Structures are given as C-alpha cells and as structure tokens.
Amino acid sequence: MKKIAFITGATSGFGRACACRFAEAGWSLVLTGRREERLAELRDQLSDKGPVHTATLDVRDSQAVKAVVEALPSEFQAVTCLVNNAGLALAPHAAQKVDLEDWHTMIDTNVTGLVNVTHALLPTLIEQGAGTSIINLGSVAGDAPYPGNHVYGATKAFVRQFSYNLRCDLLGTGVRVTDIAPGLAETEFTLVRTGGDQASHDKLYGGTTPLQPEDIAEQIYHVATLPPHININRLEVMPVRQAWNGFAFDRD
Ligand SMILES: NC(=O)c1ccc[n+]([C@@H]2O[C@H](COP(=O)([O-])OP(=O)(O)OC[C@H]3O[C@@H](n4cnc5c(N)ncnc54)[C@H](OP(=O)(O)O)[C@@H]3O)[C@@H](O)[C@H]2O)c1
C-alpha cells in the first residue's frame, strides 16, 4: 500500500513536525492550513524527500474541505493516514468573561472542522482498509478541568468520545482511530490563545521542560506505522515535569 498522509494544520507546531517526520520516512503528503506562504515554504523544504501536495484550507468550511478532497491529484487520492491536528484554544479567562465568538471559533475549528475533514475522507480510508489510521489531536485538557479551560477542554472531550465512537462504527473496516492527548507542548498554541502575548508564552514554557512538536510527531508516526492489527485507542503524553494539581476551594 502506498503511504499517503493528509495533515491538517501543517503550518505550525505538531502538524508541521508531523509533515517533517512522515516526509523523512518517505510518505507522500497532503499538507493543509490557512497560511499559504507557510505551506509553500514547507513544500519547498520537503519535496526533495517525497511527493508533497499543499492546499490552503480552513477546516471550518465544509464545502472547502470537500472541494480540497475532491480536487486531490490522482497520486494523492488514496489517503492512508488522516492527522486531524488543526485546532486552537482562545480566551484563557473565566468563562463569564469570554466573548461568545471565541467559544464559537473553538467549537467550529476543533469540533466542526475535525468532523468535516473526517467525513470527507472516511470513504477513502475505508476503501484503503487495513493499516489506515485516523489520528485525532485531543488534549489532557479534555479530561482535566482547570480554570480558563471552559469550551476548549469540552471540545477535546468531544474529540476523545468521537474517536471512541468512530472505532465502534469502523469495526470490520480495518481503519484505526486514535485520540492523542498531549500535555504541555511548546508550539504557537499559547501565542494564539493569548492573542500574541509573547510574555505569556515565555512564562508558561519557561523554567520547565515542555514537550516539543517533534516529540508528539514521533508518537503520531509510531501510531500510524504499527502493525495493522494494533489500534492505540488513546495516547496521553505529558512532560515528566508536568502533573495534576488538586481541588480548589472557595473559603470565607
Ligand atoms: N500545544 C499544546 O500544548 C497542545 C496540547 C494538547 C493538544 N494540542 C492540540 O494540538 C493541535 C495542534 O496545536 P499546536 O500546539 O501545534 O498549535 P499551533 O502551533 O498553533 O498549530 C495549530 C495549527 O492549526 C491550524 N489551524 C487553526 N485553525 C485552523 C482552521 N480554522 N483551519 C485550518 N487550520 C487551522 C493552524 O494553521 P493556520 O493558522 O495556518 O490555519 C496551525 O497549523 C491542536 O488541535 C491543539 O488543540 C496542543
């Protein structure tokens, strides 16, 4: 089977690192994201390793998703691994102080966007059958409640349950589904979440040892290349220097 990965959010962070990791192993790549220049740069950087097709895509737009999948050049059509990575958190403040628009943006991207891409590629993945994978980027934020997590954590809980439910329906097709749930990882995530606040980024990742995008890309590559009879349902990955904290109390 020819190996073709379709990666959303390939312009930064985990998605970009995945593109590099899969390219290194000789996979054909379909790389998508909204920032066209970054996609072009990445294509230039990786195309000596193997075939790369790029498409500017906002995953929130179901018609655009469908159009990108339908317009794939023939050599990229038989996708064998979907990395549903595009996503974001916004407004790390108390729920009651957050704009409704920010909640909608997270739901539209992390939930609607992820199901848009999954729906468009399911027939292809089922056609390719055993050994194919859908790898969804969840988060530890989908399990651990914490202040300012409101809708972001809820979207990642959706990703976990959707991944499990997909497995039930795909039983017998050979298509694997995994929810990868990273902990603290140093990407553009916090810059996006804080509206470009470099000081917040530096404070969060400073003085500790966060995961790097390449750490998660390695896990994703591992999951995608396991023998076809193995399905990792969920993989939670944290830095050693991160752990949970206890309950909070409102006191007199
Ligand atoms: N970093 C962490 O600590 C962490 C932990 C757990 C889970 N995650 C999850 O991991 C995934 C990747 O995040 P990251 O940390 O790598 O952040 P990142 O560096 O900000 O990358 C996010 C990617 O998502 C893309 N994206 C955002 N909105 C999009 C849209 N509407 N349509 C298409 N692409 C869109 C961005 O591309 P464009 O802006 O070019 O569209 C970018 O390539 C996300 O789902 C995130 O929730 C991150």
What is the predicted pLDDT for the residue at 1?
80
Measured in angstroms, how far is the CA atom of residue 89 from the centroid of ligand 1? 8
Measured in angstroms, how far is the CA atom of residue 126 from the centroid of ligand 1? 26
Residues 37, 34: Cα–Cα separation, whole Å: 9
Residues 30, 82: Cα–Cα separation, whole Å: 9
Measured in angstroms, how far is the CA atom of residue 189 from the centroid of ligand 1? 6
What is the predicted pLDDT for the residue at 206?
98
Residues 77, 87: Cα–Cα separation, whole Å: 24
* Closest-lying ligand 1 atom to the alpha carbon of residue 89: 47
What is the predicted pLDDT for the residue at 143?
97
* Closest-lying ligand 1 atom to the alpha carbon of residue 14: 16
> Which structural domain range is residue 15 located in?
4-237
245 inside domain: no
- Total domains, the chain: 1
Long-range contacts of residues 146-153, Cβ cutoff 8 Å, at least 24 apart: 147/94, 147/248, 148/91, 148/92, 148/93, 148/94, 150/91, 150/95, 150/98, 150/103, 151/95, 151/98, 151/102, 151/103, 151/106, 151/107, 152/89, 152/90, 152/106, 152/110
102 inside domain: yes
Evaluate: CB of 182 within 6 angstroms of ligand 1.
yes
117 inside domain: yes
Q: What is the mean pLDDT of each run of 10 residues along the chain (252 residues)?
A: 96 98 98 98 97 98 98 98 98 98 98 99 98 98 97 98 98 98 98 98 98 98 98 98 96 98
Evaluate: CB of 33 within 6 angstroms of ligand 1.
yes
What is the predicted pLDDT for the residue at 67?
98
What is the predicted pLDDT for the residue at 55?
98
Supply the CATH number for residue 56's domain: 3.40.50.720
What pLDDT digit, counting tens, does each position of 175-225 carry?
999 999 999 999 999 999 999 999 999 999 999 999 999 999 999 999 999
Q: For residue 150, give both structure tokens.
A: 């409101």
Residue pair 86/113 in contact by the 8 Å Cβ criterion: yes
248 inside domain: no
252 inside domain: no
Evaluate: CB of 137 within 6 angstroms of ligand 1.
yes
* Closest-lying ligand 1 atom to the alpha carbon of residue 16: 43
Cα of first residue to Cα of last residue in the chain, in angstroms, is: 65
